[in-house]
A and B are shown apart, each in its own frame.
Chain A
Amino acid sequence: MSVLNAERIKLLSTRSPWWCALLAVALPVGLTALIASQAQIDPGDNGGSVQVTQMLASLGRAVVMVMAALSVTSEYRFGTIRSTFQAVPHRTTALLAKTVVTAIPAMLIGAVVGFGSWAVFRAINSFPALALDSAEDWRAVAGQIVVYGITAVLALGVGILIRQTAGAVAVLLVYALLVEGLVGLIPKIGDDIQHWLPFFAADRFLGVQAGPPIDDLPLGPWGYLAYFAAVAAVVLTAGILSAQRRDA
């Protein structure tokens, strides 16, 4: 418990997590408000859907990824990782504590982004279709909590492996925002590979982004969530194993 507390103090006593959190919430919620204010869906055709309110959540997710990676790479940058391992020589414990302390704020941010975007959209443009009245609706909104949390764990794992801010941030963003999309352009095999990529999986769980119908895919929404979590767990484990082996 003291390890968790130490990590919490470490995270919240520097400015960058606050900045990231602010941006991660303000960007998607703000832009969603903009979209809502411009939306002119004919109320008669019961237009709009809960999913529309979540289109910008990926923006906050990218920022959370940066925040999670920074939480460990900045420790390597300033050499404080040595103090960390000095205080808690059991590195697995130290890093798991850091994972928990990074994932919880990420989930909070996910909750604020998910429900915040939905509430803001609804406050500006109250279509009946925006009610949270189905399992899909709840998955799209409340699902952000889990997806943000797992994303943070994945990013943290990459941060531990790469140890270097610029490298980790570049790899994470290029991968999530570019590679997964470009893979689809590879003829023949592209689609099959894409169906097993982690952020594609996260998006299938949320059901927000346009994509192939879920029935044509190898997993269902919950299967995809489990798969996304498993990938994050594997990356984190790889990170922890390498941290144990390497000199701090």
Chain B
Amino acid sequence: MTTLLATERIKLFTTRSPWWSAFLALGLTIGFAALVGLNHSGGPLLVEHSQFGTQFGLMVVSVMAALAITTEYRFATIRATFQAVPKRTSVLVAKTAVVAILAAVIGEVAAFGSWLTAYAIDGGPEMAITTGADWRMVAGVGLVFAVTAVIAVAVGTLVRQSAGAISILLIWPLLVENLVVLIPGVGANIHDWMPFTVASRFLNGAEPIAPMGPWASLAYFTGVAAVLLVAALAVANKRDA
């Protein structure tokens, strides 16, 4: 497995896309924190204010993770990959791991970078990271990024096509999960079980009415990712490359 991890690491970092993604994710997230910090008024700046922009980073990382696999299909390097390592499950798990680790790193840097930036601009004692909830809100970002990357690789493997995968990965969390609420009656219940909604409850704390606590929320989000990944692996093993 270490061999495969090394292979996928070389593959990822010898193209420009992870660098661009990291740059964009950090720039947008931290830049947004700076904007919020600079314009803040009325009451002290809080930890949560510094994290308003993390969704930018999340979406960029999601796109990057999907591209890590869809570009392999687009340029047919997936065939070279499966030729070098015919055990498709191992290859794809290694790829997912490498992408998820990178996503986690980007997430942590983005979250702490945002917090530091906001703190440097207009920090006070209220901005200290003290409680468990504070830590989850900042340090937890990396975990959510990593799990999102797993979902993105899985969707990318299933769809095999950049435009389709990216559309699904952006329209789903940004639009569909919110539109579900509009369904009278059951809508709110469905919304409670939507993966990205649940993930945000891990970060921002669950409202009392939510079905799960923060850590259970993360577990559920991870479970969704695992199911998608297993489905993707099964399909990739069955399909012609």
- A residues adjacent to B (C-beta < 8 A): 16, 31, 34-35, 38-40, 55-56, 58-59, 62-63, 66, 70, 73, 165-166, 169-170, 173-174, 177-179, 182, 185-190
Give me the 6 closest cross-chain CB pairs, A-B, nearest first. A177-B174, A173-B170, A166-B162, A187-B39, A188-B39, A38-B184
> Does the CB pair A59–B171 fall under 8 Å?
yes
Which residues of B (36-51) have their CB < 8 Å from a CB of A?
36, 39-42
Contact A66 B167 (CB under 8 A): yes
Q: Which residues of A contact B162 (CB under 8 A)?
A: 165-166, 169
Interface residues of B in 50-89 (CB under 8 A from A): 52-53, 55-56, 59-60, 63, 67, 70
In the complex, what residues of B have CB within 8 A of residue A177's CB? 170-171, 174-175
Main secondary structure of the interface of B (DSSP, over half): helix
Shortest beta-carbon distance from A233 to chain B in Å? 25
Given A178-B56, A186-B39, A188-B39, do A169 and B163 touch, yes or no (CB 8 Å)?
Answer: yes
For A185, list chain B residues within 8 Å (CB). Answer: 36, 52
Contacts A70-B163, A169-B163, A178-B174 known; A34 to B36 CB distance under 8 Å? no
| CA of A169 to CA of B66, assembled, Å | 13
Which residues from A are CB-within-8-Å of B132?
none
B176 on the A face (CB < 8 A): yes
Given contacts A59-B179, A182-B55, contact A40 B184 (CB under 8 A): yes
Task: Pick from B56, B163, B187: contact of A182, CB below 8 A.
Answer: B56
Give the nearest-CB partner of B171 in chain A: A62
One of B32, B53, B171, B182 near A173 (C-beta < 8 A): B171
Q: How far is the CA of A187 from the CA of B32 in the complex (A)?
A: 11
